[in-house]
A and B are shown apart, each in its own frame.
Chain A
Amino acid sequence: MKVFEYERPSSPEAAARDAMPAGASFIAGGTNLIDLTKLQVMTPDRLVDISRLDLADIQDTADGGLSIGALVPNSDLAADPRVTARYEVLSRALLAGASGQLRNKATTGGNLLQRTRCYYFYDPASGCNKRAPGSGCDAMGGYNRILAVLGTSDKCIATHPSDMAVAMRALNATVVTLKPDGDRRRISIDDFYRLPGDTPQIETVLEPGELITAVELPPVPDGARQLYRKVRDRASYAFALVSVAGVVTMAEGRIATAALAFGGLGPMPWRDPAMEEALIGHEPSTALFDAAADVLLADARGHGSNDFKIPLARRALIASLRELTGTQDQ
């Protein structure tokens, strides 16, 4: 681990200023950052400890939604009665991830910002344009089983490993931040992550020193069914190969609203408005769900070891939609 300066600022404003210089990194739960610094995949020379700042509240918002402090641990968020009652998909997604020990330490903000688990990103001896821009991508033509089939570029095929973020995308979350100059901004989760393009090392729209302070969720439509479906190699303590977060309402036997986000498929939690459009106003049927999968997967491309994700995503989507529309026995 490269040696670092350690600061513990006493306010979010001070933290944002402390984290502005290149080479500075916030540390909250540390469960991803310390893993990566031990391997010298990340080499911050300054750690800005935000773990004791007053950003760990969960509060109702005026519009009937929820404001989740950036430092709320994943465990507490999953177990909060407001979340289990109103945002079941978020609780299910959180509980499907990691282990009890990790969930107790990992935070909301950190979970959004966690890095890919691509084996080549993790291996400093490998070519990885995300870890070392310009060094190539050894995952292409390598063992890319856990990597992306959508949203990739010729520089990077990494997936985002979070479960929580997938649920938050299906819930139309807003990321609330504080910049070093004191400005605050609200970023839709739809705009928060960046496609790899030619710069896979830039994963979000956050600016240097910009601190996530909270994530806000709007209220869920009345009568919505919510589901998180995670397909993985083990029954517990494994990342998703493919996951689906769904929030669906029905009206008069037809799909009225459909929010569906996917994990394991892309460099960020994946959502396809055209796919959702194809569902809305129609009666549920396998033919409809198949057609939606056609839209979702039209541009999907396997890279040798992850081709299975494409038919797997289709089946996971169809199974999820059956459950979300109450038609699983048909």
Chain B
Amino acid sequence: MHFTINGQAYEADPDIRTTILDLCREHLGLTGSKKGCDHGQCGACTVLINGRRVNSCLTLAVMHQDDQITTIEGLGTPDRLHPLQASFVHHDGYQCGYCTPGQICSAVGMLDEVAKGWPSHVSADLSGSVFTDGEIAERMSGNICRCAAYPNIVAAIRDVADQANVADRKEAA
């Protein structure tokens, strides 16, 4: 099978049952994505497929050979941090760090969804609402942190969102 991950071409011959998560971790040495629950309940495995955040534990590698896959490794490096990575460091948005790659990939996807004008469960107005911290918490609810770093995770995401003027949407009437 062939894959495009972080802009790079990979060849691999995994068992047909292999998920994207296990492909990355066990076959390609991309261990940034984590296996927290393996059942789509914790979000630690979140990656971006064609720019959309998904749980990589719940999708088969064989189904994504024609897609652009982005893992945490593709978002930034120690020498060139992604703005969200830098913000998580600055705001102390983690303790053990296990959920962190998934948090960051998920936040990248989430901010893109906000920029597209997608409403959320807590949006007062489906066609445009204020981007509150409550919106961040709701939109990030698929990423669980056992260390409870949530306040700083929200702060880290808020900082990047504000700086990027992500929430350039009309206020609720």
Q: Give A contacts to B, CB under 8 Å.
A: 1, 3-4, 6, 27, 30-31, 34-35, 37-38, 47, 49, 51-52, 75, 78-79, 81, 84-85, 88, 91-92, 95-96, 98-102, 104-105, 235-237
Contact = CB atoms under 8 A, between A and B. Distances in A.
A104 B60 contact: no
Max chain A C-beta neighbours (<10 A), residue from B120, B126, B127 = B126
**Top-10 shortest CB links A-B:** A99-B142, A236-B141, A84-B126, A79-B118, A237-B141, A95-B121, A1-B17, A104-B52, A101-B55, A101-B142
A100 B142 contact: yes
B168 interface: no
Contacts of A31: 40, 55, 58-59
Interface in B139-160: 139-143
B92 interface: no
B173 interface: no
Given A75-B118, A78-B118, A79-B117, A99 B43 contact: yes
11 contacts: A27-B60, A27-B63, A34-B19, A79-B117, A84-B119, A92-B126, A95-B120, A95-B123, A101-B46, A102-B58, A237-B142
B69 interface: no
Contact of A102 (B40, B110, B113): B40
Nearest to B42: A99
Interface residues of B, number: 39
B131 to A, nearest CB: 15
A235 B139 CA distance: 12
Max chain A C-beta neighbours (<10 A), residue from B46, B121, B139 = B121
Nearest to A5: B16
Contacts, number: 101
B54 interface: yes
A292 B140 CA distance: 38
Contact of B39 (A38, A49, A96): A38
Given A101-B142, A102-B55, A49 B63 contact: yes
B40 A100 contact: no
A300 B79 CA distance: 62
Contacts of B16: 3-4, 6
Contact of B60 (A30, A91, A98): A30
B34 interface: no
Contacts of B139: 100
A100 B106 contact: yes
B101 interface: no
Contact of A78 (B109, B119, B127): B119
